[in-house]
């Protein structure tokens, strides 16, 4: 019997995502001027206020207020009527030195023996149902909101959009786990005030269905475009008016959208957030490393769907273990436990090795903090950072290294594919 699966995404203007982006902008600036920085920073946003808190061990000094304001303005909170804007909001910093009790468990005389920054388990997941090896419902949800943000910035076809938004997509699957159609799309978008509320709701629904949906469909391969049938149920701003939004509508906190950040409820999640953490924190680095493994395994044809788990003890370099689940889709005549043993020999999962393999001590994190950390485009970009004393630093950095398919050939050889 067919079944339904739903995933959601939130826009860069969602309060929790504002917090994530500020926290990761701080990470990037610390790493740009001191790549060995150890940082764990949290952000709270609410009406007219930003609160920064956390621990830092770094040789650089930053103007954290300016960094926070720049992020808020870039997202689009630039008007006083939003009750939260980058130029006028208060920014309180309560960032202090990192505890030496924690740091002694991470730093080692030999970098290769760097201990894990915390205990815990991390998961990576991949599926062949999309070209970027991501779950379809989440991929479409992200695309809807990225394109909605493009429309907002263009301010031509749709001129009333504000930064806060959410999307949710429900997919109908066959018994053999193949997507059959998109059953439901839910979009809630913040907007300017309208004089006539019924006319407003009608206008927003018509614009999103006739302008946004075709632009998203055009990005997709024909097989997925065919899932956009005339029978989709649309819920557009189902509560009605959505003028009050952003941090004025709801407080935002770093790390509250970890399922949006990963696989939309598919696979699994170890519980640790990513944003605001430097790569010595395995919550972040090992989650990227397990995604890298899972994606390369599926691309190599080992299985149609793969879940990878790794676990650590704080201060210990070697992981406690690696777990593989192919959900019965394995294309090789090996048990999942044997596959895991082979994977453990190919991928060095010590924290330092992960940092080096994926180039994680670079300022690459602000881009991860909206529209998902996984399934993104691996590319090299140029970024410029300015310190409080006016020093300007321009770097070429490689984004989303964990999305590279650079182990496919090696995996094929190891598994005789």
What is the domain-level CATH number for residue 388? 3.30.300.10
Q: What is the pLDDT of residue 198?
A: 86
308: buried, middle or exposed (CB in 10 Å: 19+, 13-18, 0-12)? buried
Please give the pLDDT value at position 171: 98
Residues 316 and 212 in one domain: no
Does the residue 238 lie in any domain? yes
| Sign of the four-CA dihedral 366, 367, 371, 372 | negative
Same domain, 320 and 382: yes
* Residues marked as catalytic: 14, 16-17, 42, 55, 166, 242, 250-251, 256-257, 277, 281, 283
The verdict on whether residue 241 carries a ligand-binding annotation is yes
Report yes or no on 240 lying in a domain: yes
Residue 277 annotated as binding site: yes
Q: For residue 35, is it within any domain?
A: no
Domain contains 320 = yes
pLDDT at position 234: 98
Q: What is the pLDDT of residue 50?
A: 98
Residues 237 and 294 in one domain: no
DSSP 123-187: EEEEETTSTTSS-HHHHHHHHHHHHHHHHHHH-SS---EEEEEEEEEEEEE-TTS-EEEEEEEEE
Please state the pTM of the whole predicted model: 0.95
For residue 310 the two structure tokens come to 């790794």
Last residue of a domain, one of 193, 224, 247: 247
74 found inside a domain: no
Could you tell me if 235 and 291 lie in one domain?
no
242 is in an annotated binding site: yes
Q: Is 335 a known ligand-binding residue?
A: no
**Proportion of the chain above pLDDT 90, given as a percent:** 90
Residue 269 lies in a domain: no
Which residues form the domain of 226?
A: 3-9+136-247
| Closest among 389, 353, 381 to 365, alpha carbons compared | 381
Give the Cα separation of 149 and 249 in Å (integer).
Answer: 19
Residues 185 and 287 in one domain: no
Structural domains counted in the chain: 2
- pLDDT, mean over the chain: 95
- pLDDT at residue number 315: 86
Q: Are 298 and 227 in a shared domain?
A: no
Pair 243, 286 in one domain: no
| Alpha-carbon gap, residue 205 to 227, rounded angstroms | 20
Which of 224, 247, 270 represents a domain boundary (last residue)? 247
Residues 186 and 302 in one domain: no
Closest CA to 309 of 337, 346, 329, 281: 337
> Are both 305 and 353 inside the same structural domain?
yes
With a cut of 70, say whether residue 76 has pLDDT above it: yes
User: Annotated binding residue at 257?
Assistant: yes
The pLDDT of 171-200, averaged and rounded, is: 94
97 falls in which pLDDT band (50, 70, 90)? confident
- Is 165 annotated to bind ligand? yes
C-alpha closest to that of 373 among 293, 241, 275: 275
Q: What's the pLDDT score for residue 115? A: 74
The answer on whether 107 is annotated among ligand-binding residues is: no
Position 253 in a domain: no
pLDDT band for position 99 (50/70/90)? low
Number of H helices, E strands in the chain: 13, 13
In the predicted model, what is the mean pLDDT of residues 393-410?
98
pLDDT per residue over 140-164, tens digit each? 999 999 999 999 999 999 999 999 9
Contact 384, 33 (CB under 8 A): no
Of 247, 270, 295, which marks where a domain is finished? 247
Residue 66 inside a domain? The answer is: no
């Amino acid at each position: 019997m067919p079944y339904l699966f739903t995933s959601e995404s939130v826009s860069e203007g969602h309060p929790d995502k504002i917090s994530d982006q500020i926290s990761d902008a701080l990470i990037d600036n610390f790493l740009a001027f001191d790549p060995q920085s150890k940082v764990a920073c949290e952000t709270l946003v609410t009406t007219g206020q930003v609160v920064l808190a956390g621990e830092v061990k770094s040789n650089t000094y930053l103007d954290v207020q300016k960094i926070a304001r720049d992020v808020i303005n870039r997202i689009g909170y630039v008007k006083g009527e939003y009750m939260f804007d980058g130029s006028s909001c208060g920014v309180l910093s309560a960032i202090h030195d990192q505890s030496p009790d924690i740091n002694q468990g991470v730093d080692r005389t030999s970098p290769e023996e760097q201990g894990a920054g915390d205990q815990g388990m991390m998961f990576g997941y991949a599926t062949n149902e999309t070209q970027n090896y991501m779950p379809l419902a989440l991929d479409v949800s992200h695309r809807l909101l990225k394109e909605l943000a493009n429309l907002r910035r263009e301010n031509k076809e749709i001129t009333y959009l504000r930064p806060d938004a959410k999307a949710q997509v429900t997919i109908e699957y066959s018994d053999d786990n193949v997507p059959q159609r998109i059953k439901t799309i839910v979009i809630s978008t913040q907007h300017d005030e309208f004089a006539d509320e019924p006319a407003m709701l009608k206008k927003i629904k018509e614009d999103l269905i006739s302008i946004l949906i075709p632009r998203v469909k055009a990005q997709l391969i024909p097989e997925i475009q065919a899932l956009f049938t005339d029978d989709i149920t649309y819920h557009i701003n189902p509560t009605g008016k959505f003028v009050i939004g952003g941090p004025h509508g709801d407080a935002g906190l770093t790390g509250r959208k970890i399922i949006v950040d990963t696989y939309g409820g598919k696979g699994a999640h170890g519980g640790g957030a990513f944003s605001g953490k430097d790569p010595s924190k395995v919550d972040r680095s090992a989650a990227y490393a397990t995604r890298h493994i899972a994606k390369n395994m599926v691309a190599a044809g080992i299985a149609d769907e793969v879940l990878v788990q790794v676990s650590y003890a704080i201060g210990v370099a070697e992981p406690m273990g690696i777990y593989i689940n192919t959900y019965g889709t394995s294309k090789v005549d090996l048990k999942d436990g044997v596959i895991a043993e082979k994977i453990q020999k190919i991928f060095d999962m010590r924290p330092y090795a992960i940092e080096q393999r994926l180039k994680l001590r670079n300022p690459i994190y602000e881009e991860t903090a909206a529209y998902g950390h996984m399934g993104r485009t691996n590319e090299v970009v140029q970024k410029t950072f300015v310190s409080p004393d006016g020093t300007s630093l321009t770097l070429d950095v490689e984004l989303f290294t964990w999305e590279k398919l650079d182990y496919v050939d090696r995996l094929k050889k190891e598994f005789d594919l």
